[in-house]
Amino acid sequence: MKFLRELRSVLNLTVLVAGLGYFVDLFDITLFGVVRVASLKDIGVTDPADILQSGLLIYNAQMVGMMVGGLLWGVLADKRGRLSVMFGSILLYSFANLANAFAWDVTSYAVLRFLGGVGLAGELGAAITLVAESLPKEKRGLGTTIVATLGMLGIVAAAFLGQHMHWKTAYLTGGFMGLALLFARFKVSESELFSKKMDPARANPLLLLTGGRFIKYICCILIGVPIYFTTGILFTFAPELTAGLNVQGTVTAGNAILYGSIGLTLGDLLAGVFSQWLKSRKRAVAMNLTAGFVLMLVYGLTPGLTSTMVYGLSFLIGITVGYWAVLVTMAAEQFGTNIRGTVATTVPNFVRGSAALAASGFAYLKGEMSVSTAALIVGSICFGLALLALTRLEETFHRDLDYEETANGPQPAAQPSQSGT
């Protein structure tokens, strides 16, 4: 009962709108993985090998777009405010998804997914930063957990609707949902820490490169890499991966993504609640990573699996890598207000972009060995680096966020001058 009261206490308009924005964000990000085969066949790509290669190209274009967008929107979040990014990004990715319904070949498909990726890059970081700065420190973990849990339902919706709609209709649905959400944004207020205490002139993303901050920043990215290895390879390319494992029954990417995303949704809620109970972000993430690595080995090394078992493992693995909200919250808490928007926006997008590196490594290795062995090698590297990076970060559960980064280290936030300079 106490937990439910605390949960209700943080369920305000800012949290709800941020969560719905992340829902649309993840719906659009996930959709390509679900409609990949049907959409490529519809535009003339019919050979299975070409479908795989074209799928990797388009997927990588989307993820590279998110890396580019992460830098763009991150700097704008600290210069112009969190809300301006939430408005600009949703306009770009909504129109890109509408246009995606009319892609006519692989090149146009890839270009539109790149533009969509640029737009999608701004949503999560701005939302998490806004929520984290708007709630008291003992409750911000719950607020960001609600945002992430609502967002993960977008993956479930994409996995379900993408299998039951024509792919063009699915893209149009995502675009129109984004435009509809835009109107709800007008009632959300800017973060008080930014609007009343933050002088945009003090926003300097280059501070990330000095004073040990760059190592912390890279560690935040590495911790999230297993999440997108899982969704980008284990789930998206489940048909190709399981074909070499002699799995009994047919495994489809849509179902693997569906069951995996249900696990991700539950996992995000559990990881957030668990970190609140432990009063530690680091210990919660460490437990998730360890369990996820073990389940990945079971997935790739156990003979005689059935398609039902594969979907069950996808669900369980999804739970273990459902620490997305905890990760982005922890990353935002590591840095001061004047570069927090840059960090919270770029970290999740470089994590997403890392899926392009993982997919490229997977694509190379599968030509040298079995598909399952290639996936296990890439996955082991991803999980190993994440666990190592976690040991280099500070615990931030009780940290006050009212501070800024300077060349001399973190300092209490200073009031901006009357002129705003």
| pLDDT tens per residue across all 421 residues of the chain | 565 566 666 667 778 888 888 888 888 888 887 888 888 888 888 787 788 788 888 888 888 888 888 888 877 777 776 777 777 888 888 898 899 888 888 889 999 999 988 888 877 777 777 777 777 777 777 787 788 778 878 877 887 888 788 888 989 988 898 888 877 776 666 666 566 555 555 667 777 777 788 899 999 999 999 998 888 788 878 887 787 777 788 888 878 888 988 898 888 888 888 888 888 889 999 999 999 999 999 988 887 788 889 899 999 999 999 898 788 888 888 888 778 778 888 888 788 777 778 878 887 887 788 777 888 999 999 999 999 999 999 888 777 777 777 776 666 665 554 444 3
Q: Are 194 and 14 in contact (CB under 8 A)?
A: no
Q: What is the pTM of this model?
A: 0.75
Separation CA 244–CA 242 (nearest Å) = 5
How far is CA 99 from its chain centroid? 23
Nearest CA to 104 out of 160, 178, 53, 44 is that of 44
CATH code of the domain made up of 2-189+205-399: 1.20.1250.20
How far is CA 231 from its chain centroid? 10
User: What's the full length of the chain, in residues?
Assistant: 421
Separation CA 284–CA 273 (nearest Å) = 9
End-to-end, the C-alpha distance of the chain in Å comes to 48
Domain ranges of the chain: 2-189+205-399
